[in-house]
Amino acid sequence: MNKKIAVIGAGNVGASCAQYLAEANLGDIVMIDIIEGFPQGKALDLTQAGPVRGYNCMVTGSNNYKDIKGADLVIMTAGMPRKPGMSREDLLAMNADIVGAAAKNIKKYAPKSFVIVVSNPLDIMTYHMMKVTGFSTNRICGQAGILDSTRFRAFVAMELGVAMTEVHAMVMGGHGDTMVPLPRYTTVGGIPIKELISAKRIKEISERTRLGGGEIVKLLKKGSAYYAPAAASVDMARAILCDEKRVFPCSAYLTGQYGIKDIYIGVPIVLGGNGVEKVLELKLNASESKALKASAVNYRGVLKEIGY
Ligand code: APR
């Protein structure tokens, strides 16, 4: 029997997730949205692309959370996107209500599911999802680090004129202005980028990565990025559904690793059939560790704003 995947929110990120999930034949997909007809229309359109794109999974849409019943995996994308001039934190109050309502339904209808959160502000919404569902922390993680790293990878590849897939990068910390790109752990075909790119350019590329989402918001003028966020989410979905044990930076719950606890933040993890199977602890230097802790302190403050 096919796995069942629920995508909450059939907007830009949600519909792109459904498309990539279908094209990867990862399971049957149900999209949930509050706008009547919207997820149904997207689902029908995606179904009709199946014969051409070569997939056979079922794609359906619904305005009723009961249709996520028994889902193995949920990707939470519902929520407001940013507009120019907004930070991810500006979405806090609106999206906390949306994520809270979805979490109650996930708990009710898909009590055994794994949940990947994409709604922003990401690390805060992931924590909120964990608290409201009451699911164990290995079953809830947030998509951010892969997106931030893939932006870093793309910029490094563009800089050097090499294949994107040859570049591996690590970006830790919160999914926002306090994120921590780690050039020390970034390589091209196994070669540290420090040996290939000047320190000045690495700094500029790190900064562009940090502000990468905002650069797209400014260009689009309404809404925020969705192809890369959806691609990153589907990579995570596949790692869980196919028990791949991939090593990714994701927003994961910390219990003292890196000297941080009771918070979701971007760290390297092993992602497999049991969800977050392990948090990997890198030997950060003093300034990297300081930046990661500052990111955590910032999010602890934001969590208080929604009562945690
Ligand atoms: N339940 C289900 N769907 C909802 C709910 C809800 N309670 N509230 C809003 N939605 C739906 C909207 O109707 C809309 O179709 O969520 C969808 C969001 O889609 P977009 O506006 O296109 O936003 P998108 O670009 O997909 O971003 C969604 O992901 O990356 C983050 O910051 C981004 O928080 C934002 C989220």
- Average pLDDT of each block of 10 consecutive residues along the chain (308 residues)? 96 98 97 98 98 96 98 96 82 93 98 97 96 98 94 96 96 87 94 96 94 94 94 98 96 96 96 98 93 91 91
Instruction: For residue 73, report the distance from its CA to the centre of ligand 1, in Å.
Output: 18
Q: What Rg do the C-alpha atoms of the chain give, in angstroms?
A: 19
User: How high is the pLDDT of residue 105?
Assistant: 98
Is-contact 176 265, C-beta < 8 A? no
Q: Is 39 in the pocket of ligand 1 (CB under 6 A)?
A: no
Angstrom CA distances, 30 to 36, 58, 75, 99, stand at: 15, 8, 10, 17
- CATH 3.90.110.10 maps onto the chain at 145-304
Locate 156 and state its tokens.
Answer: 């490094």
Is-contact 37 107, C-beta < 8 A? no
User: How high is the pLDDT of residue 177?
Assistant: 79
Which residue's CA is the closest to the ligand 1 atom numbered 36?
119
Domain 4-142 -> CATH class = alpha beta
Instruction: For residue 108, report the distance from its CA to the centre of ligand 1, in Å.
Output: 21
CATH for 145-304 is 3.90.110.10
- CATH 3.40.50.720 maps onto the chain at 4-142
User: How high is the pLDDT of residue 308?
Assistant: 93
* Beta strand extents in the chain (DSSP E only): 4-8, 28-32, 59-62, 73-76, 114-117, 140-142, 167-168, 171-172, 180-181, 187-188, 191-192, 246-255, 261-272, 275-279
Q: Is 143 in the pocket of ligand 1 (CB under 6 A)?
A: no
Instruction: For residue 295, report the distance from its CA to the centre of ligand 1, in Å.
Output: 25
Task: Classify 258 as helix, strand or coil.
Answer: helix
Residue 209's identity, in one-letter code, is T
Q: Is 176 in the pocket of ligand 1 (CB under 6 A)?
A: no
Which residue's CA is the closest to the ligand 1 atom numbered 31?
119
Which residue's CA is the closest to the ligand 1 atom numbered 10?
78
Instruction: For residue 118, report the distance from its CA to the centre of ligand 1, in Å.
Output: 10
User: How high is the pLDDT of residue 250?
Assistant: 95
Is-contact 22 55, C-beta < 8 A? yes
Query: In this structure, what DSSP letter does residue 82 have?
Result: P
The C-alpha atoms of residue 116 and residue 99 are separated, in whole angstroms, by: 12
Q: Is 34 in the pocket of ligand 1 (CB under 6 A)?
A: yes
User: How high is the pLDDT of residue 192?
Assistant: 96
Of 82, 128, 139, 175, catalytic: 175
User: How high is the pLDDT of residue 88?
Assistant: 83
User: How high is the pLDDT of residue 98?
Assistant: 96
Any catalytic annotation for residue 168? no
User: How high is the pLDDT of residue 264?
Assistant: 96
Q: Is 65 in the pocket of ligand 1 (CB under 6 A)?
A: no
The C-alpha atoms of residue 127 and residue 129 are separated, in whole angstroms, by: 5
